[in-house]
């Protein structure tokens, strides 16, 4: 395979991050971009020097020269588009969440296996330097036995509009939009345990829409750790930026964003460790997305199923579905 040819499906905000990342990788060509409005696709194509523009996916589906697609559309189209592209023997990168329900995730998995194609899901914090630093600290036992975490996916005094606030298009609100970042990030740091129980209280407090803007989720993992996740839009305060997390262990505490350790040295005493990590230009820095694209391209070359991929994406969908069910029933959902 000399040059890997990729098409972008969707030309919104996130597509810019993907395009910038892909254009830094040798022997990769973005050959087409698809958007709902052809003018949007053309404007995007001019910005990045992309030759082909379309307002539907049929031309990409029928182009056997295209090796893979990056899907960054409203959530409603993630699963149906992914399934069609997999059936046309194209590898698929899906923005998070993998679909709008756990059922859709399983459908994607079945088709991926039947057609022997790759699926990667855009849980991009797994490619962040700070996140991986804390993952290594937990794995090394530096914090002792981890027993509790708190994670945040909250927009302070702001919330999205458009398709994000329509349940039919997004599948859910702040939990599906922001909460999934917090859930997957802490799951990754903990070594990818499986959920055992979920309890949630989810509500709408700030807008006249049919999705949630407030959520408190408690996840019991199969390794015994309890994780509290907060999701939200428009909240008057947030305890930390997207995916920020606190991790409590028997020997110390770790914080992600800002990133530091507090290692217990005795009663009323501890050593604070602030690691020397690369300076962040912005919180969701381009470098994370570039690493993500580099990894996806490498998986295409080596025919290796990506991680985060089918399993990781499915578990997040299972947790989100369980959280909505728990909130509706007012009781714990067991796995």
What single-letter DSSP state applies at residue 175? I
Detail the DSSP E strand segments found in 18-163: 28-34, 52-54, 68-71, 91-95, 119-122, 146-156
Q: Are 12 and 38 in contact (CB under 8 A)?
A: no
The domain locations on the chain are 4-124+287-307, 126-277+317-334
Percentage of the chain lying above the pLDDT 90 cut: 97
Question: Which pLDDT score, from 0 to 100, does residue 282 have?
Answer: 93
Residue 2 has pLDDT above 90, yes or no: no
Mean pLDDT throughout 254-276?
A: 94
- The strand order across the sheet containing 52-54 reads 52-54, 28-34, 4-9, 68-71, 91-95, 119-122
Name the average pLDDT for the chain: 97
Residue 1 has pLDDT above 80, yes or no: no
Q: Which two tokens stand for residue 64?
A: 């056997």
Helix/strand/coil for 160: coil
pTM above 0.95, yes or no: yes
pLDDT one-digit tens code per residue, 40-98: 999 999 999 999 999 999 999 999 999 999 999 999 999 999 999 999 999 999 999 99
Return the CATH number of the domain spanning residue range 4-124+287-307: 3.40.50.720
- Cα separation of 188 and 186, whole Å? 5
Domain 126-277+317-334 bears CATH identifier 3.40.50.2020: no
Mean pLDDT throughout 7-23?
A: 97
């Amino acid at each position: 395979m000399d040059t890997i040819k990729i098409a972008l499906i969707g030309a919104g905000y996130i597509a810019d991050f993907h395009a910038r990342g892909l254009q830094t990788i040798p022997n990769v060509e973005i050959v087409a971009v698809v958007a709902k409005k052809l003018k949007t696709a053309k404007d995007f194509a001019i910005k990045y020097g992309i030759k082909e523009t379309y307002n539907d996916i049929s031309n990409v589906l029928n182009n056997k020269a295209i090796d893979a697609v990056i899907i960054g559309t409203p959530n409603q189209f993630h699963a149906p588009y992914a399934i069609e592209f997999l059936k046309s023997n194209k590898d698929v990168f899906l923005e998070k969440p993998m679909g709008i329900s756990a059922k859709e995730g399983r459908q994607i998995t079945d088709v991926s296996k039947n057609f022997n194609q790759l699926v990667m899901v855009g849980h991009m914090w797994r490619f962040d330097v700070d996140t991986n630093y804390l993952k290594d600290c937990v794995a090394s036992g530096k914090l002792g036995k981890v027993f509790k975490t708190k994670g945040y996916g909250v927009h302070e005094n702001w919330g999205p509009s458009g398709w994000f606030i329509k349940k039919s298009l997004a599948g859910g609100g702040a939990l599906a939009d922001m909460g999934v970042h917090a859930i997957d990030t802490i799951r990754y740091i903990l070594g990818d345990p499986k959920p055992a129980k979920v309890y949630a209280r989810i509500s709408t407090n700030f807008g006249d829409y049919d999705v949630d803007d407030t959520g408190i989720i408690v996840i019991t993992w199969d390794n015994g750790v309890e994780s509290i996740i907060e999701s939200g839009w428009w909240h008057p305060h947030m305890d930390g930026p997207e995916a920020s997390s606190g991790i409590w262990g028997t020997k110390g505490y770790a914080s992600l964003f800002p990133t530091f350790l507090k290692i217990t040295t005795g009663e009323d005493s501890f050593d604070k460790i602030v690691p020397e990590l690369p300076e962040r230009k912005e919180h969701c820095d381009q470098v994370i997305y570039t690493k993500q694209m580099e990894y996806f391209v490498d998986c295409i070359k080596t025919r290796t199923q990506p991680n985060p991929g089918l399993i990781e994406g499915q578990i997040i969908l299972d947790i989100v579905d369980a959280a909505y069910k728990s909130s509706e029933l007012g009781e714990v959902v067991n796995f």
